Amino acid sequence: MNTTSRERFQSTLARSKKIAVLTGAGVSAESGIPTFRGAGGLWRRYEATSLASPEAWQRDPGLVWEFYNHRRERALGCSPNPAHRALVRLEDRFRDAGGAFTLITQNIDGLHERAGSRNVVRLHGSLWQVRCLSCARVTENREVPITPAFAGSGSPDPEAGDRRFTAAELPRCPCGGVLRPHVVWFGEPLDAGDIAAATAAVEGCDLLIVVGTSAVVYPAAGFVPMAKRQGARIAEVNVEPSAVTGLCDFVFTGSAGEILPSLLDVAPARA
Ligand code: BJW
Ligand code: ZN
C-alpha cells in the first residue's frame, strides 16, 4: 500500500523528540489579522512593511503610532483560531511525553500565548509592550487607544487623510520620554536572548514545522536552512509556496486553520 505524504509526515511527527515550529502572519490570517505581504498588506496608502521601519518613525512617529494603534484595536477583537489551538495541543502532548517543543513566532499579536502556547519565542516583539526612548524601560500596555489623542485615528481607509500628531500628543513614559512600540523594525537587531533560544531549539530538532510565513525576512527565515543543515525534517503549511518551500520534505498547501488540526493530531511515541 502506498503511504501518502501526510502519513509519512505523521509517522515522522510521532517519532520526533524535539520539535520546533516557526510561524508567521499566515497563522493569524484566519483570526482576521492582515498579513504583511500580498493581499491585506496595505494600510491606508502605505505598504505595512514600509511603516515597520526606523525611517518611517523618524519621518512621522504619529503616523507609525496610528498604524500600531489601529492594529492593537483590531487585534483586541480577534481570537485564536484552530491553527493556534492545534499547536497548543501538539505542545501539550509532546511535553507530556517528555519531548521538547518550541514555538518560534514572528508575530506580535500575542494570539499563540492567548491560545495557551507555553514555550514561545517572540522574535519580533509584542504589540502589547511599549519602550521608552529615554529610559529604555519596557512595559506592558493594553490601552486602546494608546492615548486619548489617538481615539478614532488609525483608519485604514485609503481616503482617510494623514493627521499630523505633535510631539506633545505622542504616548509618553512617566519619565517624560516618548514611547514607541516594543517591536523589531527592519535594520534593528533582534533580542540576543530570543535569537539564542530560537537557535537552541532549531539546532538538534528532529522536525521543524513552518506555518504561514513568506520566509523572506531574516534572521527568522534563516532558521529553515539551519534546521536542514543539521539533518532535521522540515514541513511547511501555507496557502502558497514560500521562499523555503524547496527545502521542505513535506509541503501541505492550504490554510493553516483547516490543515493543522487533523494533520497534527498524532500521539507521540513514548520514550
Ligand atoms: C497563510 C494563510 C493561511 C496567508 N494559512 N498560510 C540576510 C539577507 C537579506 C536581508 C537581511 C539579512 N539579514 C538581515 C537582513 C535585513 C532584514 C531583512 O530580512 N530583509 C529582507 C526583507 C530582505 N532584516 C532585518 O532588518 C532584521 N534585523 C536584522 O537583521 O538586524 C541585524 C542587525 C544586527 C546588529 C545591529 C543592527 C542590525 C529585522 C527584521 C524585522 C522584521 N520586522 C517586521 C515588523 C515587526 C513588527 C510588526 O509586526 O509591525 O516583522 S516586518 C514583517 O515581516 C513582520 C513579520 O514578522 C515579518 C515576516 O512576515 P511574515 O510573517 O512572513 O508575513 P508575510 O505577510 O510576508 O507572509 C504571510 C504568509 O502567510 C504568506 O506566505 C501567505 O501565503 C501565508 N498565508 N494566509 C497559511 N490562512
Ligand atoms: Zn522613560
Q: Count of H helices and E strands in the chain?
A: 10, 11
Q: Whose CA is nearest to atom 39 of ligand 1?
A: 186
Predicted confidence at residue 3, as pLDDT, reads: 78
130 and 159 housed in the same domain: yes
- Residue 119: domain span: 1-32+80-124+190-271
Predicted confidence at residue 145, as pLDDT, reads: 97
143 and 261 housed in the same domain: no
List, run by run, the mean pLDDT of 10-residue segments along the chain (271 residues): 87 97 98 92 92 97 96 96 98 96 98 98 98 98 97 89 92 98 98 98 97 98 98 98 98 98 89 57
Strand ranges, E, within 166-228 = 179-183, 207-211
106 and 132 housed in the same domain: no
Residues with CB under 5 A from ligand 2 (ion): 132, 134-135, 173, 175, 177
135 and 179 housed in the same domain: yes
Of 153, 183, 213, the residue at which a domain comes to its end is 183
Atom number in ligand 1 closest to CA 237: 79
**What's the Cα-to-Cα distance from 172 to each of 56, 137, 176, 179, rounded to whole Å?**
19, 12, 6, 5
Write the CATH number for 250.
Answer: 3.40.50.1220
Atom number in ligand 1 closest to CA 255: 5
Looking at the CA of 106, name the nearest ligand.
1
242 and 217 housed in the same domain: yes
Predicted confidence at residue 40, as pLDDT, reads: 81
Ligand 1 binding residues, C-beta < 6 A: 24-26, 29-30, 35-37, 49, 52, 106, 108, 124, 183-189, 212-214, 216-219, 237-240, 242, 255-256
**Number of domains into which the chain is organized:** 2
Write the CATH number for 163.
Answer: 3.30.1600.10
Q: Whose CA is nearest to atom 5 of ligand 1?
A: 255
221 and 94 housed in the same domain: yes
Q: How far apart are CA 232 and CA 169, in angstroms?
A: 50
Q: How far is the CA of 84 from the centre of ligand 1 (A)?
A: 20
Atom number in ligand 1 closest to CA 124: 46
143 and 235 housed in the same domain: no
259 and 131 housed in the same domain: no
Tens digits of residue pLDDT in 94-146: 999 999 999 999 999 999 999 999 999 999 999 999 999 999 999 999 999 99
22 and 87 housed in the same domain: yes
103 and 160 housed in the same domain: no
Nearest to 25 by CA among 213, 182, 219, 259: 213
23 and 150 housed in the same domain: no
Predicted confidence at residue 1, as pLDDT, reads: 54
200 and 250 housed in the same domain: yes
Predicted confidence at residue 86, as pLDDT, reads: 98
Q: What is the pTM of this model?
A: 0.97
